[in-house]
């Protein structure tokens, strides 16, 4: 049978229960404050991201500050030590980037460095997987930030690449167009424009082929026979004009001639 609590005991129990509630409330408030501080720091801190990036067969190193504050005294440490097959006598592993670090990286700043050729690295049996430790400071915090990334290129082996056209490709294309247009430019900043009648060009091409066919068979022959053969050749391509004497003389003498439709006497097509 439970005993009867005295007034003093009931008061003591109530005091302890109140103390327990207050203690739990204080702990919850402290946890909320710490979480708020952590969230604020995460939103208002530098955040340096390091990654490998490929461009065709080229390997690039990307360093980017995705945070909202300046990252200062940024230092990178590769494990194993990074080695490159390129750029002797100044390989990337001897650059100030890896030996001295970067003094500061502003928010949203993205740095890109060419490191190596992937096929050559594979041929030389150099590592494709690295652990990168990054340390940097913020003006609002004495203790440095320390992040660690695993950069792995081995998944690229055996995979085909689908390369997207970038703004760099667009710039190269525009430069090529600019160089071509400079070749067109005449004095006084003009541009050479060639206007051509397609129908005239087509008929003159057919005339030249007809003349060449007769010339290859009758070079140095009789003028009258050459003229008759030219008439037949012209008729076969639908032209009814009279071949000029210059065309005939060129075949007799074995010399070239410039074929122009305007030189064909009475030039017309049978289907006109």
What residue segments make up the domains of the chain, in order of their start?
48-156, 198-263
Whether the pTM exceeds 0.85: the reply is: no
More confident residue, 5 or 66: 66
Q: Say if residue 54's pLDDT is above 90.
A: no
For residues 133 and 83, is the Cβ–Cβ distance under 8 A? Answer: no
- Structural contact between residues 96 and 158, judged by C-beta atoms closer than 8 angstroms: no
Q: Which residue has the higher pLDDT, 123 or 64?
A: 64
Instruction: Choose from 112-126, 136-150, 157-171, 209-223 the range with maximum mean pLDDT.
Output: 136-150
pLDDT computed for residue 1 by the predictor: 43
- Domain covering 48-156, topology: Immunoglobulin-like (2.60.40)
| pLDDT at position 157 | 67
Provide the pLDDT for residue 165: 61
């Amino acid at each position: 049978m439970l005993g009867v609590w005295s007034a003093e005991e009931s008061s003591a129990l109530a005091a302890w229960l109140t103390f327990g509630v207050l203690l739990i409330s204080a702990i919850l408030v402290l946890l909320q404050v710490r979480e708020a501080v952590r969230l604020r720091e995460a939103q208002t801190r530098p955040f340096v991201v390091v990654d490998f990036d490929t461009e065709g067969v080229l390997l690039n190193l990307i360093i980017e500050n995705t945070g909202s504050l300046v990252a200062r005294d940024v230092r990178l440490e590769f494990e194993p030590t990074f080695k490159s097959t390129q750029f002797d006598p100044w390989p990337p592993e001897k650059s100030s980037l890896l030996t001295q670090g970067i003094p500061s990286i502003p928010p949203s700043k993205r740095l890109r460095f060419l490191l190596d050729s992937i096929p050559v690295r594979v041929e030389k049996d150099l590592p494709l997987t690295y652990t990168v430790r990054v340390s940097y400071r913020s003006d609002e915090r004495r203790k440095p930030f320390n992040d660690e990334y695993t950069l792995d290129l081995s998944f690229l082996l055996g995979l085909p690449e689908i390369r997207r056209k970038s703004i760099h490709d667009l710039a190269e294309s525009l430069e090529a167009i600019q160089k071509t247009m400079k070749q067109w430019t005449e004095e006084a900043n003009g541009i050479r424009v060639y206007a051509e009648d397609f129908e005239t060009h087509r008929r003159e091409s057919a005339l030249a082929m007809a003349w060449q066919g007769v010339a290859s068979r009758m070079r140095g022959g009789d003028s009258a026979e050459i003229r008759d053969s030219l008439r037949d050749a012209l008729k076969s391509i639908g032209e009814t004009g009279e071949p000029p004497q210059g065309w005939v003389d060129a075949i007799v003498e074995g010399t070239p001639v410039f074929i122009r439709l305007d030189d064909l006497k009475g030039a017309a097509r049978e289907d006109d």
